[in-house]
Structure 1
Amino acid sequence: MKKNIVITGTSRGIGFQLAQQFAKAGHKVIALSRNSEPLVAVNNENITAISIDLTEESDLAKAGKIISESFKQVDILIHNAGLLVNKPFQQLTSEDFQKVYQVNVFAVATLTQNLLPLMKAGSHVITVSSMGGIQGSMKFPGLAAYSSAKGAVITLSELLAEEYKEQQIAFNVLALGAVQTEMLEEAFPGYKAPLTANEMADYIYNFALTGHKFYNGKVLQVSSSTP
């Protein structure tokens, strides 16, 4: 059965690949990103690329309106957009924290609120988090804002799974290890990750379609390294 899918952070990396995978399989995709041009250039009739700034409440409201006009229901929502600031803790400003939390936490909450009226039993909300947000995982200096935000969004998702379980809307988190994306390269120049964006998109694609049958309120650690 063909699904209606909303994905954030689709201008590059995992989100860019994911949008194309769903569209090629015949699903309808609304792709939200500050830069919509890469997906517009793909020219797939199943993809509607909308340019929005996730840090702007008015843009999120606009996106909600467009989505509700395009889709009668939302089957899958993938919060994939992320913002990473890599700075020593003493140099982090409150503005850095604000920006990182706006993209990684507040936008996730607001977009979910806007789209919940379109979700039915069987809908699946997936939040892409990070191993850095997992308690007890190895932490990296410089990522105080990013990793703490990724931890916050894990708790948010667990809570929403509980709050919406009677409506049978599933909320799950994928806490990713290192994936070779532009964001990783910008934060850690020269580091080579074990997985490509394409490989991770494959995994998320399948999990988005079937994971809600097996999991709800769960955090899956998608990482081949320890701890």
Structure 2
Amino acid sequence: MSKNIIITGTSRGIGFELVQLFAKAGHNVLALSRNEKPIQKLNLKNVTCFSFDLGDIEAYEKVGDFIKTNWKQVDILINNAGALLNKPFAETGMQDFEVVYNTNVFGVAELTRIVLPFMKKNSHVVTISSMGGVQGSMKFPGLAAYSSSKAAVITLTELLAEEYKDTGISFNVLALGAVQTEMLEEAFPGYQAPTTALEMAHYIFDFSLNGNKYYNGKLLQVSNSTP
């Protein structure tokens, strides 16, 4: 049975790989990213993509309209888009925090809110967080905005699972360790992560399709390293 899947942050890294995995498995995908060209170039028949900025309030209406017109329902939402800032706290102003939180927290909340009315029993909302957002995990200087935003969506996931527990919709959050992506390279030039974007995409692909049978309101730490 093919499912209808929405994925954010699809222009590169894990999101880019996820779109291809779901498409190859015969699912319908709405790929959302500020830069839609990398997905467009793949020319996958069951994939729709358009430019989508999590900070643009009108963009969410476009998503709602697409679902109403084409799908009627959504089976899986993967909140994968993320903004990573590596900057000393003394230089991290309110505007820096706003940029990071707009994508990593407010965008996740708003897209989830828009998509939820189209979800039914056994649907799954998967949000991608980071090990840096897990209480008690090793922390790194320069990531005050990023890691605190990733902590916020962990708690948000727990709250949504409670609020929607009677609907049969599951909400889970994956705290990823270091994955070799362009975003990581930009923030930490030269750092070599132990996991590739494709390897992590395979895990998220499987978890999105099956994890809701076993988990709801849960944080899973997906990391084989300290960061």
Q: Separation in 2 of the partners of 1:56 and 1:24?
A: 30
SS at 1:31's partner residue? strand
- State the match for 1:132 in structure 2: 132
- State the match for 1:210 in structure 2: 210
RMSD between aligned alpha carbons? 0.9
* Alignment check: 8 A CA contact 2:104 2:149 kept: yes
Q: CA deviation at 1:67?
A: 2.5
- State the match for 1:54 in structure 2: 54
TM norm structure 1: 0.98
SS at 2:113's partner residue? helix
Q: Separation in 2 of the partners of 1:68 and 1:169?
A: 19
Q: Does 1:164 align with 2:164?
A: yes
Q: CA deviation at 1:226?
A: 4.0
- State the match for 2:20 in structure 1: 20
- State the match for 1:69 in structure 2: 69
- State the match for 2:9 in structure 1: 9
Q: CA deviation at 1:56?
A: 1.1
- State the match for 1:78 in structure 2: 78
One-letter amino acid of the structure 2 residue matched with residue 4 of structure 1: N
Q: Separation in 2 of the partners of 1:132 and 1:71?
A: 36
Q: CA deviation at 1:62?
A: 1.7
Q: Separation in 1 of the partners of 2:69 and 2:131?
A: 36
Tell which deviates more after alignment, 140-149 or 63-72. Answer: 63-72
Tell which deviates more after alignment, 2-11 or 62-71. Answer: 62-71
Deviations 1:89-136 (A, max 9, x none): 000011110010000000111111111110000000000000000000
Gaps of 5+ in 1: none
Q: Separation in 1 of the partners of 2:34 and 2:181?
A: 17
Q: Does 1:182 align with 2:176?
A: no
* Alignment check: 8 A CA contact 1:64 1:111 kept: no
SS at 2:172's partner residue? strand
* Alignment check: 8 A CA contact 2:157 2:173 kept: yes
Deviations 1:136-173 (A, max 9, x none): 00001000000000000000000000111100000000
Q: CA deviation at 1:9?
A: 0.2
Aligned counterparts, 1:106-117, within 5 A: 106-117=106-117
Count of residue correspondences: 227
